Amino acid sequence: MTATTLPEAPRRYRRRRIRPARVALHAFLGATALAWFFPVLWALVNSFRDYGYTAVHGYLSLGGFTLDNYANAWNQGELPGYFWNSVVITVPAVVLTLLLSSCAAFVLSSYSRRFNLVMLAVFLAANLLPPQALLVPLFRLYTSIPLPYWISESGSLYDSHLGIILVHTAFQIGFCTFVLSNFMKAMPDSLLEAAKVDGASVLQQYWRVVLPLCRPSLAALATLLVTWIYNDFFWALALLSSGDKLPITTALQNLQGAFFVDYNLLSAGSVIVALPTLVVFFLLQRHFVAGLTLGASKG
């Protein structure tokens, strides 16, 4: 697994002549890219247009540009609250997942191969199970686990942010453990040996030696996890009952009602909801791509 450092594409022999094949290639890719970008562009353009104007002139017109939709979507849709819920769920879930999976990977990467395989199989397969298949028992389990009021207003794990954080963590640990244990196995043994000779405890070996070296993998996984957990729709739908606790992605279905008749408002709402993942994508694209291909490619 050397997925974090993908080998460079074979360099092609360059010719100065403009080749028709190259022109055709750019024409095809350019047209496809435009078509691909269009739905987002359309949402973006309409989000800046006045509803009254488009209602009269139709959407195939120009003019009536405004910023009001953003202010209205933000306030009418009560987006700040939903965004906060997303933060409260996503950040602890990502941190907890990375912490636990790096611990598990650390132990697994220093054990016998066979045991390793069994545990990794159990971990990795869990990541791919259909969430619906766990719904009933989890629901029942969550309602029967009492929590003090200061953690959950509902008095149980059901309808609490903690419950959502835990289920995300349980689901994502598998993939992250797999990726991290491959990464740790590729590290030179001598580093750990040296730490052991120096009398470092297991915890010190993990925290001082192994974890700092895992930084690139952790960054890639964190980018991926933020996107996945922020984008989750199902778990919050199934395990939260109070509307005011919903994260933004699940709250979309309530927003649909609030924005129903005004598609410009809907556009602005969509852009706002897409913004965090798009920012992550554009700023950390390298990590994101590395993360997505981490599990899939084998060097």
What is the C-alpha separation between 207 and 267, in angstroms, rounded?
45
**Binding residue for other proteins (CB under 8 A) from 42, 56, 67, 242?**
42
CB-nearer residue toward other proteins: 136 or 151 = 136
Give residues 142-171 in contact with other proteins (rule: CB under 8 A): 166-167, 169-171
Contact positions with other proteins (CB under 8 A) in 69-98: none
Among 53, 196, 216, 258, interactor with other proteins by CB under 8 A: 196
> How far is Cα of residue 183 from the mean position of the Cα atoms in its chain?
21
- Three-class secondary structure of residue 127 per DSSP: coil
Which member of 87, 91, 95, 119 binds other proteins (CB under 8 A)? 119
Question: How far apart are alpha carbons 193 and 230 in whole angstroms?
Answer: 40
Both tokens assigned to 195 = 């730490």
Give the interface segment with other proteins, choosing from 58-66, 87-95, 147-155, 212-220 (CB under 8 A): 58-66
Positive or negative: CA dihedral 253, 237, 171, 229: positive
Length of the chain equals 299
Distance CA 293, CA 4 (A): 8
In angstroms, rounded to a whole number, what is the distance separating the alpha carbons of residues 109 and 46?
Answer: 52
Q: Considering only the stretches 63-71, 81-89, 104-112, 148-156, report the one whose residues sit in contact with other proteins under the rule CB under 8 A.
A: 104-112
Q: Which stretch binds other proteins (CB under 8 A): 65-73, 83-91, 210-218, 289-297?
A: 289-297
Query: What is the Cα–Cα distance from 240 to 232, expressed in whole angstroms?
Result: 13
Site for other proteins in 246-265 (CB under 8 A): 249-250, 252-253, 256, 263
Q: Which is nearer to other proteins, 8 or 149 (CB)?
A: 8
- 37 is an interface residue for other proteins by CB under 8 A: yes
CA distance linking residue 268 with residue 180, whole number of Å: 39
For residue 90, the minimal CB distance to other proteins (Å) is: 12
